[in-house]
Amino acid sequence: MDDLLSRTRAAVWHPCTQMKQLEAAPPLAIARGEGAWLIDTDGRRYLDAISSWWVNLFGHCNPRINAAITDQLGKIEHVMLAGATHEPVVALSERLAKLTGLGHAFYGSDGASATEIALKMSAHFWRNAGQPGKNGFISLANGYHGETVGALSVTDIPLFKSTYAPLLRRTVQVPTPDARLAGPGESAEAYALRCAAALETHLAGHAATTAAFIVEPLVQGAAGMAMYHPAYLTRARELCDRYQVHLIADEIAVGFGRTGTMFAFEQAAAPTPAHAPPLTPHAIRPDFICLSKGITGGYLPLSAVLTTDDIYAAFYDDATARGFLHSHSYTGNPLACRAALAVLDIFAHDNVIAANRAKAIEFTGMLEEVAAHTRVRHFRHLGMIWAFDVADATPGFSARFHQAALAQGVFMRPIGNTVYVMPPYVTSADEMRGLADAMLACLCNPGI
């Protein structure tokens, strides 16, 4: 294992990591995985409490997903999607259309590329519609949409953004409805509506130069699992309609059941029916939906951008330049699509959304002592996400908590002073109880 660690330091440049810190805090050397567990080269086991950066849904080495990929390997591993097509990408696109009501799927390989695709598609739509001046973007304060240059332009996390600011396009951030920021005595809903009023003020002045508003529905993940009231999305949808601005739902982190519904936007009610059954008729309808992370159950890199018939139609033409000009070598990779289809089969067959609802109630009960701990503020929960802030956290808290949790056999990475849990859906009650005990032990250690 020491050998692997020195080789990784010499040869691998790790993401979101100051490499010098790996001397003091080496990464886990993972040999294999099993359900919710990661197992290192010395055989030590760690509960993957954050689903390997929020991607894993049904555990590591899931037999059903393994079988789907293995079956596909014997057929075709990859073929370019320009000038060719295949059953897995067609079937996945059809199923995503049924689930979301948005019928045209464009594929990328990771979340940031989905953001790039949605932004480019939105601006190109307005150009094709004779309004090339509508090419600006709005996002929420503290939002996160990926770290490639275009995606970073709409991201608002200073640590990731400031250094690269000279490379980025200027975009506008409107106030975040993060419920922690509500005034004394103000409800989450009232605060969300106050933020929506600020969005309206901006749109009223800048609609002519704005292509789209991109949001993480209900939970701003990288901001520290900031949660907000769905009334914000309902109002945002109305305002985007009124001011002719696209609404992009970045469901990369929250899609596929994380917030308790298949997609988070479904929890925002539209004043008039936006969908025909069997979709939730009263859910708002975004103009674009970005999906990635959980889409393959955490197996393979895949992202998708779904959009409406109207937007699709604006590109449908004899002129090549009116078509969407974008491609990635691995667009619609068959192995990744088969993993995604296996994930959707598990959702349907095991009635996962309903099962998670019961599980979430049980798990929340197990976290009562954590929620009531004197160091804990803003304990919050939505679907299969739990988070809280640690009031007296001092610099280095996140790294110390991470190490202390590892010593308890749990893999976690707090964001600043926010501790969060986002376990794979296969996590059992016993495993969750162990996780709750480990967090309590960390909180009770005043040195952390």
Ligand X SMILES: *Cc1c(COP(=O)(O)O)cnc(C)c1O
What residues pair up with 174 in beta bridges, in sequence order? Answer: 140
Q: Does 146 bind ligand X (CB under 6 A)?
A: yes
Minimum distance, C-beta of residue 54 to ligand X, in the bound complex (Å): 6
* Sole binder of ligand X in the list 33, 111, 177, 334 (CB under 6 A): 111
Best CA proximity match to 238, nearest among 172, 187, 193, 179: 193
Q: Does 212 bind ligand X (CB under 6 A)?
A: no
State which residue, 111 or 286, has the beta carbon closest to ligand X: 111
State which residue, 154 or 404, has the beta carbon closest to ligand X: 154
Q: Does 33 bind ligand X (CB under 6 A)?
A: no
State which residue, 144 or 243, has the beta carbon closest to ligand X: 144
Q: Which of residues 279-298 bind ligand X (CB under 6 A)?
A: 292-293
Q: Give 256's contacts (C-beta < 8 A, 6+ positions apart).
A: 57, 262, 263, 291, 293, 294, 295, 343, 347
The Cα–Cα gap between 427 and 288 comes to 32
Give the residue nearest to ligand X (CB). Answer: 111
Q: How many residues bind ligand X (CB under 6 A)?
A: 14
Q: Which of residues 323-352 bind ligand X (CB under 6 A)?
A: none
Q: Does 62 bind ligand X (CB under 6 A)?
A: no
Q: Does 306 bind ligand X (CB under 6 A)?
A: no
What residues pair up with 261 in beta bridges, in sequence order? Answer: none
DSSP 121: H
* Contact region with ligand X (CB under 6 A), list: 132-140, 178-186, 250-258, 268-276: 250-258
Q: Does 235 bind ligand X (CB under 6 A)?
A: no
Q: Does 248 bind ligand X (CB under 6 A)?
A: no
State which residue, 352 or 385, has the beta carbon closest to ligand X: 385
Q: Does 224 bind ligand X (CB under 6 A)?
A: no
The Cα–Cα gap between 245 and 316 comes to 21
Q: Does 112 bind ligand X (CB under 6 A)?
A: yes
What residues pair up with 138 in beta bridges, in sequence order? Answer: 172, 213
Q: Does 51 bind ligand X (CB under 6 A)?
A: no
Minimum distance, C-beta of residue 151 to ligand X, in the bound complex (Å): 7
State which residue, 56 or 128, has the beta carbon closest to ligand X: 56
Q: Does 156 bind ligand X (CB under 6 A)?
A: no
149-154 CB contacts, 8 Å cutoff, 24+ apart: 150/115, 150/116, 150/119, 150/120, 151/111, 151/112, 151/115, 151/116, 151/119, 154/115, 154/119, 154/214
- Residue 306 buriedness (CB in 10 A; 0-12 / 13-18 / 19+): buried
Give the H or E element holding residue 434: helix 429-444
Minimum distance, C-beta of residue 42 to ligand X, in the bound complex (Å): 29
Q: Does 144 bind ligand X (CB under 6 A)?
A: yes
* Sole binder of ligand X in the list 221, 255, 286, 423 (CB under 6 A): 221
Q: Across 141-188, where does the E strand assignment appear?
A: 172-174
State which residue, 387 or 436, has the beta carbon closest to ligand X: 387
| Angle at CA of residue 403, ends 11 and 435, nearest 5° | 120
Q: Does 116 bind ligand X (CB under 6 A)?
A: no
Minimum distance, C-beta of residue 139 to ligand X, in the bound complex (Å): 11
Q: Does 229 bind ligand X (CB under 6 A)?
A: no
The Cα–Cα gap between 92 and 105 comes to 9
Minimum distance, C-beta of residue 145 to ligand X, in the bound complex (Å): 5
Give residue 78's Cα distance to chain centre: 26
Minimum distance, C-beta of residue 91 to ligand X, in the bound complex (Å): 23
CB distance 256 to 266 below 8 Å = no
Q: Does 110 bind ligand X (CB under 6 A)?
A: yes
* Sole binder of ligand X in the list 156, 250, 287, 431 (CB under 6 A): 250
Tokens of 100: 């979301």
| Residue 19 identity (one-letter amino acid) | M
Q: Does 400 bind ligand X (CB under 6 A)?
A: no
The Cα–Cα gap between 370 and 274 comes to 40
Compute how many other C-beta atoms are within 10 angstroms of the C-beta atom of residue 244: 15
* Sole binder of ligand X in the list 60, 120, 145, 380 (CB under 6 A): 145
For ligand X, the binding residues (CB under 6 A) are 110-112, 115, 144-146, 216, 221, 250, 252-253, 292-293
